[in-house]
A and B are shown apart, each in its own frame.
Chain A
Amino acid sequence: MDTFKLTWNITETIQDWLVSIMSENAANITAMVLVAIIYLTLFAVAGLYLVLLERRVAAWFQLRLGPNRVGFQGLLQTMADALKLVSKELTGTVKADKFLYNLAPYFVIVTSLMALAVFPFTKGFQAFDINIGVFFLIAISSIGVIGILLGGWSSNNKFALIGAMRSGVQTISYELSIGLSLLTMVLMTGTLQLSEIVEVQKSGWLIVQGHIPAIIAFMVYMIAGTAETNRAPFDMVEAESELGAGFHTEYSGMKFAYFFLAEFINMFIIACIATTVFFGAWLSPFGITESIPWLGVFWFLLKAFVLVFLMMWFRWTFPRLRIDQLLTLEWKYLLPINLVNIMIMAFLVWQNLIIKF
């Protein structure tokens, strides 16, 4: 059972306890199911409450109040929305490619869920500590676009098709920037394993260690990350004023909700990657809570939510770009900046000019 060893560090104590009451194989399977349930719950709750957060934050940015009726301060609002969506009829078009049409939402949601597994929420709370973590994240995050393309194409609707095409253009372009900016940081750490990247940051968060090029990489990453999740100001995929609802025009009820949730989880994932790679994941500032490792979850989520808030701030500040502006930004600005930046970083690492405490 050596191959499964990787999974265990999340719940080592539970694992030991399980082994003590049942056979090793049964314990392994039970532990896996437990981990899956924990993550699914996390996923659902995070998704729902990110939606609520988005609505409240958007309201505050526009001097409105936002949902505050259902439950205390509107806390049950998204639950009610979810119930409503579950109870809605699943419609579809007659001439749609039924198989792909039904498959698409799962593609999108499963990829988001897979990405969540590798984050080190705190020491030992990591479902899957793979040694190519960063690579895995980049690879996984580009599968989501296949779901969007499938959904758009199989809907047999021109708005959906245009939305899907735009998504393809957008995601494939910005994937480059994400990859390169993360690569800049990998140059410093010399490892792709997320837990080791955190280990390196014990002598200063990478954004401090790498100073100028790290800050540039972070800015590029945030811009590209916002574009990658198809959020405003890069929401040409949905562009409701031009395309109806873009690639998910034909989806209803829960299938629509999957796309919707996936967008919010993706935003959270982008923030989590940034937290891990730039801001020391679960490490507390100046190691103030180093002796209580479970507090790491708090620090991790705090950092992630600050970044999520930053992305919401972008969204409610800027108008949507045009498709040519989007491509200009990526190919003429972000990509060259990134390439130069990666050379600066290589030089700094070579000359050992990075800051360490």
Chain B
Amino acid sequence: MGYFSNIYKGIKSLLTGMGVTGKYFLNSRKGAITQQYPDNLDTLKMFDRFRGEVIMPHDENNEHACTGCQKCEIACPNGTIEIIWDRGIDEATGKKKKKIDQFVYHLSMCTMCGLCIDACPTQAIVWGQNFENSVYDRTQLTRVLNKPGSKVRAGVED
């Protein structure tokens, strides 16, 4: 009896599959997911989950949330992140404290795996939406993510 039930199951799965693609076929012109890049540069919208590059957001006081703990540097499987750090005097307590000098990010080596972002305890780094990363000189792909003169936001370390 397995023979006939196989035929039945075969035909049924065939029709189910064709139903799914058939629905897509009818809807595609309304909801095609293709973006007409670069025609739509003005209206181009990337998706929230898109992984373009790692960025470090700074607020209006030129402050970021990176404490220089180096968890991201350790988490990165291919050495994309280099944290150059130093010790400075904390104004509030007057004690010596670790702070980043330069957060170096080698975009050319990044696989967009996201391990650094998962590892960061203070959400100091997030995904950027930029994807136009082609340049003529690859040294331009080595970036310093913390802006000049920026410092760690007060309170993130507590």
Chain A: residues with CB nearer than 8 A to chain B? Answer: 57, 59-65, 313-314, 316-318, 333, 337
Residue contact B18 to A313, C-beta cutoff 8 Å? yes
Which of the residues B14, B25, B36 comes within 8 Å of A60, measured between beta carbons?
Answer: B25
With A and B bound together, what is the CA distance between A337 and B6 in angstroms? Answer: 13
Chain B positions 1 through 42: 1 when the CB is less than 8 Å from some CB of chain A, otherwise 0: 000001100100010011011101101110111101000000
A67–B6 Cα distance when bound, in Å, is 39
Q: Which of B95-143 contact A (CB under 8 A)?
A: none
Known: A313-B21, A317-B17. A63 touches B31 (CB 8 A): yes
Q: How far is the CA of A98 from the CA of B20 in the complex (A)?
A: 47
Pick from B7, B14, B24, B32: contact of A65, CB below 8 A. Answer: B32
Flag if A317 contacts B20 (CB, 8 Å).
Answer: yes
Residues on A with C-beta less than 8 A from B22 are: 313
15 contacts between A and B (CB under 8 A): A57-B25, A60-B24, A60-B29, A61-B25, A62-B24, A62-B28, A63-B28, A64-B28, A65-B32, A313-B25, A314-B18, A317-B14, A318-B14, A333-B10, A337-B7
Contact of A316 among B6, B21, B29, B33 (CB under 8 A): B21
Which residues of A have CB within 8 Å of B14? Answer: 317-318
What are the residues of chain A within 8 A of B28 when measuring CB–CB?
59-64
Chain B nearest CB from A80 CB (Å) reads 19
Q: Considering only CB atoms, which chain B residue lies closest to A333 in the complex?
A: B7
- Residues of B within 8 Å of A337, CB to CB, are 7
Complex Cα–Cα for A64 and B7 (A): 33
Residues of A with C-beta under 8 A to B34: 59, 64-65
User: What residues of chain A lie closer than 8 Å to B20, measured between beta carbons?
Assistant: 317
Q: In the complex, which residue of chain A has the Cβ closest to the Cβ of B13?
A: A318
B29 to chain A, nearest CB (A): 7
Determine whether the beta carbon of B32 is less than 8 Å from that of A317.
no
Tell me whether B24 and A63 are in contact (CB under 8 A): yes
For the complex formed, measure the closest distance between the CB of A157 and the CB atoms of chain B, giving whole angstroms: 34
Chain B min CB distance to A178 (Å): 19
Chain B residues within CB distance 8 Å of chain A? 6-7, 10, 14, 17-18, 20-22, 24-25, 27-29, 31-34, 36
Q: For A64, give its contact among B6, B17, B27, B32 (CB under 8 Å).
A: B32
Complex: chain A residue closest to B10, CB-CB: A333
Question: Which has the most chain A C-beta neighbours within 10 Å: B6, B28, B29?
Answer: B28
CB distance from A48 to the nearest CB of B (A): 22
For the A-B complex with A60-B25, A64-B34 known, give 15 more contacts whose Cβ atoms are closer than 8 Å. Answer: A59-B32, A60-B28, A60-B29, A61-B21, A61-B24, A62-B24, A64-B28, A64-B32, A64-B33, A65-B32, A65-B34, A313-B18, A313-B22, A316-B21, A318-B17
Query: Chain B nearest CB: distance from A284 CB in Å?
Result: 26
Q: How far is the CA of A171 from the CA of B19 in the complex (A)?
A: 29
Taken together as a complex, chains A and B put the C-alpha atoms of A65 and B30 apart, in Å, by 10
A337 to B20, CA, bound (A): 28
Which residues of A sit under 8 angstroms from B10, Cβ to Cβ?
333
When chains A and B are docked, how far (Å) is the Cα of A63 from the Cα of B28?
5
Nearest 7 pairs between A and B by C-beta? A60-B28, A65-B34, A317-B21, A317-B17, A61-B21, A63-B28, A60-B25
In whole angstroms, what is the CA distance A59 to B24 when docked? 10
A284 to B31, CA, bound (A): 35
Closest residue of chain B to A57 (Cβ to Cβ) is B25
Most chain A CB within a 10 A radius of its CB, from B31, B32, B36 = B32
Question: Which residue of A has the minimal Cβ distance to B6?
Answer: A333
Q: Give CA–CA (A313, B23) in the complex, Å.
A: 11
State the Cβ distance, B14 to closest chain A Cβ, in Å: 8
CB distance from A100 to the nearest CB of B (A): 39
Question: For the complex, what is the distance from the CA of A60 to the CA of B30, rounded to whole Å?
Answer: 10
**Can you name the residue of chain A whose Cβ is closest to the Cβ of B20?**
A317
B21 to chain A, nearest CB (A): 5
Q: Which residues of A contact B7 (CB under 8 A)?
A: 333, 337
CB of A54, distance to nearest CB on chain B (Å): 13
Please report the C-alpha to C-alpha distance between residue A318 and residue B13 in the assembled complex, in whole angstroms.
10
User: Cα distance A314–B25 when bound, in Å?
Assistant: 13
CA of A352 to CA of B73 in the docked complex: distance in angstroms? 83
B103 vs chain A, min Cβ distance (A): 39
Question: Closest chain B residue to A56 by CB distance?
Answer: B28
Docked complex Cα distance between A62 and B29 (Å): 11
Tell me the nearest residue of chain A to B31, going by C-beta: A63
Within the assembled complex, what's the spacing in Å between the Cα atoms of A333 and B10?
A: 11
Q: A333–B25 Cα gap in the complex (Å)? A: 30
Q: Which of B6, B33, B34 has the most CB of A within 10 A?
A: B34
